[in-house]
């Protein structure tokens, strides 16, 4: 099958292609793609032990004309910190990487976010290529240039908008992905259906089994469509000053859930799944979304083995507090992305607080 789809992210001088296909890493394709996008003679692969063991050699082989160093970071969101960012910078300097060097992020969202911020900040910005190895990273982090590290005070508090030179997505890597992480990625795919594409949502409902069986054509379709939708939104609003906020559907609740339970308890996509179920219910209770639509969202999430309720009770006031530092706060007003239908959402700060209180009351004590 090899290279079978390409999505252009249209951002003027910062535009870049996303290559999607089967066996892009194991075939000879990667060498050509990297040759076209790695401009200098030095490269650093940023990865973790697990992913490097599986795919590191393929990438080093494809980069055989460069001087390549490999930086391995510990796995997990807990290591997406300013400290590890500092270690990457130390590593780049120790190995005398100059301004024409290229950072290759080989891994999931944690690796991509940290490697991306390192590329953005090292000598004020060097080349950057993403090879995302989780479904979540393929459909979310690979489009839009958001890079960041966490702070004890909140997720993604320090970072940059920084676009890669290209993104290479090999659907084969998903076969080695743990089931829980695969499902977590599907949560974001469901999100794209809800916010922008009723056809995609219906397609997911009709093809859920093929997707769960990791059928390559089904995966290519949903990854391509997800990247297209996100690319379209990001092209309209690169720096998240307006419409891009719709990508946060389910994330205001989701981030609060992650915050309250401590990073690492829930996978991001799992917290977002619960957050989307809550946001859909909130939308129905605000009489914006037709009754029954929230149930469709919940049903689809369940078919993808995703959680649709909290596993432990939390105090609604803790949830409100946890949402207080969320980035949807604009001058003190807490704003939500709500659905008007499956396929159309809007950002609003105009809602009755009793309705929010009712949603929190219903969901916080499952």
Can you give the binding site for its own copies, defined by CB under 8 A? 40-41, 82, 86, 89-90, 93-94, 96, 98-100, 117, 120-125, 146-148, 151, 153-154, 156-161, 239-240, 324-325, 327, 329-332
Cα–Cα distance between 28 and 38 in angstroms, integer? 16
> Is residue 146 among the annotated active site residues?
yes
> Is residue 255 among the annotated active site residues?
yes
Q: At what angle do helices 268-285 and 179-196 cross, to 10 degrees?
A: 30
**Residue 94 or 354 having the CB closest to its own copies:** 94
**Residue 157 or 202 having the CB closest to its own copies:** 157
> Is residue 94 among the annotated active site residues?
no
> Is residue 248 among the annotated active site residues?
yes
In the set 205, 240, 346, 358, the catalytic residue is: 240
**Residue 56 or 164 having the CB closest to its own copies:** 164
Q: Which one, of 68, 179, 136, 96, lies nearest residue 272 by Cα? A: 136
Cα–Cα distance between 252 and 265 in angstroms, integer? 17
In the set 80, 97, 251, 285, the catalytic residue is: 251
**Residue 3 or 329 having the CB closest to its own copies:** 329
In the set 97, 221, 268, 285, the catalytic residue is: 268
CB hemisphere CA count around 276 (13 angstroms) = 35
Q: Which one, of 251, 234, 231, 252, lies nearest residue 243 by Cα? A: 234
**Residue 28 or 125 having the CB closest to its own copies:** 125
> Is residue 268 among the annotated active site residues?
yes
> Is residue 124 among the annotated active site residues?
yes
Cα–Cα distance between 228 and 138 in angstroms, integer? 12
Q: Are strands 146-151 and 154-161 parallel, antiparallel or unpaired?
A: antiparallel
CB-based burial label for 302 (10 Å; 0-12, 13-18, 19+): middle
Give me the least distance between CB of 168 and its own copies, in Å please.
Answer: 24
Give me the least distance between CB of 283 and its own copies, in Å please.
Answer: 24
Residue 17's CB is within 10 A of a number of other CB atoms, namely 17
> Is residue 151 among the annotated active site residues?
no
Give me the least distance between CB of 9 and its own copies, in Å please.
Answer: 17
Q: Catalytic positions, please?
A: 124, 146, 188, 230, 240, 244, 248, 251, 255, 268
């Amino acid at each position: 099958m090899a290279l079978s789809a390409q999505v252009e992210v249209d951002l003027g001088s910062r535009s870049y292609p996303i290559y999607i296909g089967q066996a892009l890493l194991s075939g000879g394709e990667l060498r050509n793609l990297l040759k076209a996008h790695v401009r200098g003679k030095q490269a650093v692969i940023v990865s973790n032990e697990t992913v490097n063991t599986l795919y590191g050699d393929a990438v080093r082989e494809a980069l055989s004309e460069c001087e390549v160093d490999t930086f391995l970071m510990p796995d997990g969101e807990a290591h997406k910190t300013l400290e590890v960012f500092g270690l990457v910078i130390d590593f780049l300097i120790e190995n005398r990487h100059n301004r024409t060097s290229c950072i290759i992020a080989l891994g999931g969202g944690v690796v991509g976010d940290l490697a991306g911020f390192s590329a953005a900040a090292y000598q004020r910005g060097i080349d950057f290529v993403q090879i995302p190895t989780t479904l979540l990273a393929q459909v979310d982090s690979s489009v839009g240039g958001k890079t960041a590290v966490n702070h004890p005070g909140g997720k993604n508090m320090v970072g940059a908008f920084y676009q890669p030179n290209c993104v290479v997505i090999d659907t084969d890597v998903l076969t080695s992905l743990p089931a829980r992480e695969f499902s977590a990625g599907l949560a974001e795919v469901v999100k794209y259906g809800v916010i922008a594409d009723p056809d995609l949502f219906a397609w997911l409902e009709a093809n859920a089994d093929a997707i769960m069986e990791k059928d390559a054509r089904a995966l290519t379709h949903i990854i391509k469509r997800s990247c297209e939708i996100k690319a379209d939104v990001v092209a309209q609003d690169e720096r998240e000053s307006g419409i891009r906020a719709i990508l946060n559907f389910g994330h205001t609740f989701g981030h609060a859930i992650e915050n309250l339970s401590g990073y690492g308890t829930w996978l991001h996509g799992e917290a977002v799944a619960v957050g989307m179920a809550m946001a859909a219910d909130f939308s129905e209770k605000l009489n914006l979304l037709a009754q029954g639509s929230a149930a469709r969202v919940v049903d689809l999430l369940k078919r993808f083995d995703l959680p649709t309720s909290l596993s432990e009770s939390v105090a609604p006031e803790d949830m409100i507090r946890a949402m207080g530092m969320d980035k949807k706060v604009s001058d003190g007003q807490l704003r939500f992305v709500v659905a008007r239908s499956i396929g159309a959402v809007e950002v609003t700060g105009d809602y009755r607080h009793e309705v929010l209180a009712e949603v929190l009351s219903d969901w916080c004590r499952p």
